[in-house]
Structure 1
Amino acid sequence: MANESFEREWYALQTYSGYENKVKRDLEQRALSMGMEDYIFRVLVPEETKVDESKIDKNTGKPKEYQEQIFPGYVLVEMVMTDQSWYIVRNTQNVTGFVGSQGAGSKPAPLLPEEMAGILRMMNLSIRVSDLEVNIGDTVRIIEGAFANMTGNVSEIDYEKHKLKVDIEMFGRETSAELDFDQVEEF
């Protein structure tokens, strides 16, 4: 298994335009069915929320919001690059290749961490992933940010965005803080 990395890194996949969400679903399903959840982690179709001022939502009276792809024809995958994970990803239907691959069976170069950090921030997703295992009502200690060293109870969990809401008591009142998984630890 030459050229294998055991580090979790982000890679960009080229797809047929219009098939990005299908590739995401198919790749997530293949990772599950082939037992590769420890090698293929997050699959993203980079999108951002746009507002169309010319269309008004009849229910809210506000301009309609919609999702627009940031990089049409591309899907991002967070994975550990092994021969097997590389094979599964590149042979997923509608994937045309990896960005940064020189061809002839060579493994692709991962995206730079600062590139990925910007994309994830734009999508309002967590940059780092934690193996945090908590449930609503559990007590956690905040280890990073404005509320560092405080404890609170988990009130909401968003597994897709890797965020949670923690209720903290401050000055005799309960305050809710939205935090990334990696900003807290189990208490």
Structure 2
Amino acid sequence: MALTSEDFNYDEDDSQDETLDADLDSAEETPPAGGEGSDEADGEAAKFYQRKARWYAVQVASGCEKRVKLNLEQRISTLDVVNRIFQVEIPQTPAVKLRKDGTRQNIDEKVFPGYVLVRMFMDDEVWSVVKNTPHVINFVGAEQRRAYGRGRGHVKPMPLGMSEVKRIFKRTEEQKPVVKVDMAPGDKITVLSGPFKDFEGEVVEVSPERSKLKALLSIFGRDTPVELEFNQVQKES
């Protein structure tokens, strides 16, 4: 399911003056003028862009997060917008995936699968650089504005509130891995080994930290709760 602007919890105070209307048409704020081409002017412009840069969520094709990050970083350099697009991130958190055989695999789990976060100063040029990157679907925005007539979806990008940005990246700093398992209450399973081999049942409780689950098996015509190891069962497709 695609996320909307509401899923990212925008701070109204943070974003109320940063609309695409201002950025794409006649920006209310522009870099300092004067001394064009001078080191002093370039330095002032760089400080301005850094100060006004915001985080935006960008929806990408499923499974293409790393590819988009690499492509976009290359485009930023090639198209010379390094002074306005500063970071491209895929927030991830450590996790442990439990395999069917009971072994564990350390993985990095994406906080928001199908999305990358970009810290940038929004204007017409950088909007185009990001939007036209291969496998990018659209910016996450608060509403659609077909009047712009720009690309797929015509979504008006909205910056993330700083409180939400901090919350997202705080999750990436978590040191204790989350245990992930492809099993949940309600799943139908078949027992593969042990005294209940070939019995069928329904999962009622999952304990990832113990690599065990509890299932209801029909024993002598009665549903009986039985604790089983993950590697003792197979989920029915």
- For the superposition of Structure 1 and Structure 2, which TM-score range results when normalised by the shorter chain? 0.5 to 0.7
The equivalent of 2:132 in structure 1 is 91
- Aligned 1:93-132 pairs, distance under 5 A: 93-100=134-141, 102-104=144-146, 105=148, 107-124=156-173
**Aligned Cα root-mean-square deviation (Å):** 2.2
Query: Does 2:116 correspond to 1:75?
Result: yes
Are residue 43 (structure 1) and residue 88 (structure 2) matched?
yes
CA contact (8 A) 1:52 1:65 kept: yes
Paired residue type of 2:168:
I
**Matching of residue 32 in structure 1 with residue 58 in structure 2:** no
- Asked which structure has the greater CA Rg, the reply is 2
In the TM superposition, what whole-angstrom CA distance separates every residue of 1:71-114 from its partner, at most 9, and x where no partner exists?
11111100000111111111111111100152433641101110
Q: Residue in 2 aligned with 1:142? A: none
AA matched with 1:11: Y
Match of 1:132 in 2: none
2:56 paired residue among 11, 21, 26: 11
Aligned residues: 119
Aligned letter for 1:69?
K
Runs of 4+ in 1 over 3 A off after TM superposition: 3-6, 52-56
User: Structure 1: how far apart are the matches of 2:95 and 2:162?
Assistant: 26
Structure holding more helix per residue: 2
| TM-score, reference length from structure 1 | 0.57
Q: Structure 1 stretches of 5 or more lacking a match? A: 57-62, 126-187
- Superposition deviation, residue 53 in structure 1: 5.5
Residue number in structure 2 paired with 1:66: 107
TM-score computed with the length of structure 2 as normaliser: 0.46
